[in-house]
Each structure stands twice: as structure tokens, then as C-alpha cells.
A and B are shown apart, each in its own frame.
Chain A
């Protein structure tokens, strides 16, 4: 039975028999076991809300856009979320422009039910003026390459795009209090959407009389299969949607087994997705901090999921963070943030310092800003500040990467989406993480809700981060040494100096030196490993 009326792919009888016979013996034509997912690769593009997901050779691009419209009359308090899936002929020669085929409609509906009807995306927070202005979020899903199981890939792409999307912040003002003011991203940090849970779509294909199931069917398996089921389930084990449209009948016990497998797969995919989002957030924050340096940096946050027992490893190159380099970055961070009027003087001093080369820094010049000595600096002698919030007895010097982490975490907390406890990043050591989460609570107190520049407010009251006491710190510092290497690992962050030194897979990045030499040739087609 041709579930996939795919004019582009003609499968021979021999292939069909072979695939079916192999599955009956628990073999699949691409070497996977029956309940293995293909390699998953989530790539966040530079723009917020654009994600490309690769599941094996299936590629899907999801783009999220928001605009302000009038709400539906019966739902004046809610914004809207709409999923658009138009299959372009790019992904499959059988896809034709014009009216969406039933496959396209079905895919759109499954994703819609999983995301919208299960209330994964909070629509009430999208309301600006009740009954007048709300945010309408639109997700466009483009199928770049159809190699089987579009539903799972498209769902994941939509989720990742929604998680990484940032809408401009807007406030209500004007004389009558009815005017909506949209703040451009340069003025106010855009805010993310509130996502309550993450529904993952898991698709099984049935063969034979329904007694053989495989997970994540590839293109040829889809041609041969007798039926399929998609289960949209989140990591808490809540089923958001089940779609079994026709096809061969399956016994209830087999179905329950599939649901159990789906539940465990959903958990691991959710972990992968969350990790990818975090890495992306961190490099995004890094990019913002370094923006003024006028250097384009190619950063792609990519996380790959290995099947089964291996811990998913993000391909991150560890770089030695030169202390001097970190210094400059920190200084620049300070320069960037300090726009507070009272800080102007020290700002000027800092600016002057920043021009001077590292030698003066190494000589032990201290930054002078309200509250005392600077807390960032590997070589600075730091003493605990009395009365500083959350002062504890053993601390770690926080370098620029930890600062970024903090910033990201703090922003996330301010957005109200993530609690500080859930901010778990594997690259941060446990004691550092506890410290950070404590400071996040403090930061939230200091910070102004509408402003994302938390550091300003915090700075005026003194440095948030407690200082390292010389005597107590030996252990602390030693333990951090190990983690600092990890801290330096975030994303494929290319420091200012390391532009050309990238792994073969990454695009060469050349700079304003005028050389336009970059070329990159990905090895064609299949990604091995």
C-alpha cells in the first residue's frame, strides 16, 4: 500500500521484498536497529528563530516570525500561533506548488496539535492590549530534503525555532495608555516566548501484519511500510497527540509498547534539544558582548546526538583562554555596560586603560568603580567585600565566559521562563553553578524588569560576584582550573585571534584584511560518523 504517493521515488519489487524480509529479522537497510533514531543535528542560524534540523538526510528549516495584529473576537486576551507547512519542490520532486498535498496538510495538523492545542506555547503572554493588540506568531516550515520521517524533523525544527525566537519588547503607553510602543532590539533586548513544555513527535512505521514496528522510517522504508503512527509526547510522559491515519491494524499491546518507547525517546531528544538551545544562547550572548569589536565571527552552535549509551557530546573545541585576552574582553564588557551616569568617570578611566596594552594590566592596575575593586581578573588580588550580597567564603574568579553564562542565566530568569535551578549547564562545575544560581536571585532583585541590562544596576551597588580570599582559595582555584578549560569551551567560539584556525568542517573565516578566500566544500551528501 503506497502511503506515500511519491511519484518521484519508484521502488522495485526486489527492494520491497528485501526491506520487508530484513525488518522481520530486525535489520534495517541503513544498518540501524529497529528502535534507533537517525543522527540528529540541530543548527541554529544567526537570526533568532531560524533553525535547520537534520535527521539523517532529512532536512527541515523552520522560521518563526511575529507580528502585532488584532486578536480573534472570542479570544481577546490571547495571541495566536500558526504553523505553515508548504512543501516546496526542493525537498522532493513529487512535491508540487499550489494546493498543499494531503501529506503537507497532515504534517501541518500534527505539529499544530502538538504545539498549539497542547498549550506548549503560552498564548496569553502574547497579549499586549486586551481585545486590541496581540502578537501573532507564525512558524514557516520549509522542507529542504525529504528522506523520510518529515513529521519528527519538522516538529523538532518548529520547537527549536520557537525556543530560540525573540520578539521585540513592547510596552503600552501614550496619553491614553492605549498606544503600543515597540522597542527595537538595539534599545531593549527582545524577549523569548514562554514555552511550558516540549512536545516531541515520535513516528513508528508498521510492516507485515502490523507486528513489526520500526522507529524513524527512512524514505525507502516509508514506501514499503504498511502503516504509521505518530505519537507526540513530552518528557513528563504526557501524550499531546496521537496520529494513526489508516494503514494496517496494530494490536493494542504493540501500540502500548510503542508509546513506552516513544516516551523514553522523547526524553533523550528533549535533553538534546535543551542542550542545543543552551549552547546557542551562550554563543548568542557572547556574540552580543563582542559585537563592538567589529569582527564578524562565525559561530554555529551545533549539537549532535549519538544513539544509545554514549553521552551526547557537543563538538566544542576547547581553547586556552589567554588571561590577557580575557582581560581585554572583560574590560570591554565593562565598557559596554557602564552607561550609568555616575560611572562615567570610571568609564573614561577604563576606556583609557583599554587603549593601553596588556602590560599595564599585568602590572596590576585595578579597575576603580563604585563598590571597590573589580572582581574579574585572574591575577587581581581579590578580597571579600563586606556586606556584598551572597558573600561566601570560597569563590572562584569568574572569567568572561562565566560572566556570559551568568548574564544568559540572569536574563532567562528575568524573562520568567526558566528558574535558576533549571539552569543547568554541563560545562559549569557544580559549586560554580550553585554560586551563580545564588547570584541570579540577587541579580533579579537589582535588575529593572524592563531592562535587560542587569549589570548596570548591579554594578551601582557593588560587584555581585564575591571575591576570592587569598588564603582559602587554593583549593577553589585548583578545582576551577579544571573547569575553566571547560568554561572556555562554550560553543565554537572563535576568539578574536583564532579566526582561521578552525576544524575542517567549519567555514574559513577571513576578515577585513580583504582576502576573499573562504571556501568550504562539505563532503557531498551523506554525513558519515
Chain B
């Protein structure tokens, strides 16, 4: 690398010395609480340390005439940024989340209705889209919407020297060459039984449901991201499931 190149290169991120002391493949502490809101049918807050998103679910409820579908429920997502007027980022995020959730919600069970998921960004410190999708999923569970599986999302970044790291903070996202949000399905519990556990010999969980990249990365780097993300989502899924099971036990124990 010539001196000129070095000067021109943006400040590189040292993955072995992340500011919060994590290693490259370490996630931030997760936190999930459900049932916080009194009016919403289901609600959840998902925090990845400083990134917090609150999701509220209303539905199935009557859909607006022009939007309703006689064969299935309409899923609508509303993304509320922390401040400012809604812009293109919010629109894009709404589309991504909607398409991801349409995969798991059993919309055919509730025709002519709408299921709305409202996402409110409480604080943003990187991996926002992943956090939002996790929150939406938890809120859907809290609302009792029938799902054919859960989703787990994780953020992954690539530094300028090709190192891959998980769960970037906002600063790390800005300093990285590229970062990606990956969403994987996770299906140990489903409302529909008898679904195949494997697709072409690969476990169901290995399929990528959604992938949104920012910045350019090499193909190999992308696949490394996917591998790492997959491994991480196994942990996140476990956390999510334990959280749900625990709250269900509490509910049924109280009854």
C-alpha cells in the first residue's frame, strides 16, 4: 500500500479494539420486554444496548376499503423516526419490514382485515433495521397473531481491510466499508404443523429471508457476513424463544 493510498483511505476500524470492548463476533446485550402498552393489541421493545425500537401491533382489524384484500390480511407497517419528517429511509424500511413480516404472518387466516405494525425508534446506535425487525416479531407474538415461525435479524459490518464483525454501532457503521442487515427465519414453534424442516437438505434456518446492504463489499466478504450472521441469529433466536416461553409460563401460571 503506497503512502498516498493510505492517506486517501478513510479511517479504518480496528475490529479487535472495538470501543465497547466486544470482539468481532460478539453481540451487544439484548433486552426484550413485551406487553408494555395498554391500547395496542401487542407491543414489544427490543434493545441492543443503545439501539431501542418499540413496536406496537394492531390487528386483525377492519382494513380501509381501498386497501383490503378479499383473500388475505393486509400487513401495513408504519415507521416513525425519532425526529424529523418521514423521508425515504423510513419508506424503504417500511417496505423491507413489511416484506419480511409477510413471510411469517399467516395472512390467509384473516381475509379482509389489516394487521398494522407501528415501529417507533426510541434510540439509534446502529443495526437499527435488525432491531426493528426483532421488535416487530416480538410484538406480533404478544398480539397473538398466528405466525408460521419467527424472525431473527442481525447487523453485520465489513471494515475497509476486509474484516467482518457483528452488530455494528452507529459509529462503526459510519466507519465501515459496508454493512448489511440479515434476516433469517427461525421455526421451532409454528402455528402450522407439518411444515418441512429442510429445504433441499439445508435446514430451514439457513435460508436468508432478507438482506439489505449499504455500501459495496466483496462477494466473499458477503458470504462471511452471512455465515457469521447465521451463527449469531441462532443465539438471538434462543434468547427470543426463552423470553417468550418465560412470559407464557408466567401467564399460564397466573391463570
Binding site for B on A (CB under 8 A): 8, 45-47, 50, 52, 57, 59, 61, 63, 65, 84, 86, 88-93, 97, 138, 140, 142, 144-147, 294-296, 507, 509-512, 514, 516-522, 524-526
Contact = CB atoms under 8 A, between A and B. Distances in A.
Contact of B39 (A92, A294, A509, A518): A92
A97 B37 CA distance: 19
Given A509-B29, A520-B31, A93 B83 contact: no
Sort A-B residue pairs by CB-CB distance and give the 5 closest, nearest first.
A524-B35, A90-B118, A140-B83, A57-B38, A90-B56
Nearest to A96: B64
Interface stretch (B20-28, B190-198, B206-214, B216-224): B20-28
Contacts of B29: 296, 507, 509-511, 516, 518
Interface in B212-253: 235-236, 239, 242-243, 246-247, 250
Interface string B22-58: 1100110111111111111000000101101010101
Nearest to B45: A522
B35 A63 contact: no
Given A89-B118, A92-B39, A93-B58, A140 B82 contact: yes
A296 B58 contact: no
B31 A144 contact: no
B106 interface: no
Contacts of B19: 294
Contact of A45 (B23, B122, B250): B122
Given A45-B122, A521-B247, A8 B39 contact: yes
B104 to A, nearest CB: 21
Contact of B246 (A86, A88, A518, A519): A519
Most central of B30, B31, B38, B50 by chain A CB within 10 Å: B38
A507 B37 contact: no
Contact of A525 (B21, B35, B118): B35
A46 B38 contact: no
Q: Per DSSP, are chain A's interface residues mostly helix, strand or loop, or mixed?
A: loop
Interface size class of B (residues with CB under 8 A): 35 or more
B93 interface: no
Contact of B120 (A90, A517, A522, A525): A90
A222 B231 CA distance: 51
A516 B30 contact: yes
B201 interface: no
B239 A512 contact: no
Given A519-B243, A524-B35, A89 B30 contact: no
A518 B31 contact: yes
Contacts of A146: 39
B40 A145 contact: yes
Contacts of A46: 50, 123
Contact of B38 (A142, A522, A525): A525
Contact of B123 (A47, A59, A140, A514): A47
Given A65-B83, A142-B80, A294-B21, A88 B120 contact: yes
B125 to A, nearest CB: 9
Nearest to B40: A90
B78 interface: yes
B87 interface: no
Interface string B107-138: 00000000010101011000000000000000
A135 to B, nearest CB: 15
B116 A89 contact: yes
Given A90-B120, A93-B58, A145 B30 contact: no
B12 to A, nearest CB: 19
B38 A147 contact: yes
A164 to B, nearest CB: 13
B61 interface: yes
A519 B78 contact: no
B83 A63 contact: yes
B11 to A, nearest CB: 14
A212 B236 CA distance: 53
Contacts of A511: 29
B84 interface: yes
B243 A145 contact: no
A142 B120 contact: yes
A115 B243 CA distance: 42
Contacts of A91: 37, 39
Interface string B62-93: 00000000000000001010111000000000
A89 B83 contact: no
Contact of A144 (B30, B78, B120): B120
17 contacts: A8-B39, A46-B50, A57-B38, A61-B120, A84-B83, A86-B80, A89-B78, A89-B118, A93-B58, A507-B47, A512-B22, A516-B27, A520-B32, A521-B250, A522-B33, A524-B35, A525-B38
Nearest to A89: B118
Most central of A8, A295, A510, A519 by chain B CB within 10 Å: A519
Given A59-B36, A507-B47, 7 more contacts: A90-B54, A93-B58, A145-B36, A147-B38, A518-B31, A524-B36, A524-B247
Contact of B37 (A52, A59, A140, A514): A59
Nearest to A84: B83
A144 B38 contact: no
A45 B239 CA distance: 24
B243 to A, nearest CB: 5
A296 B83 CA distance: 26
Nearest to A65: B83
Contact of B61 (A47, A84, A88, A93): A93
B120 A519 contact: no
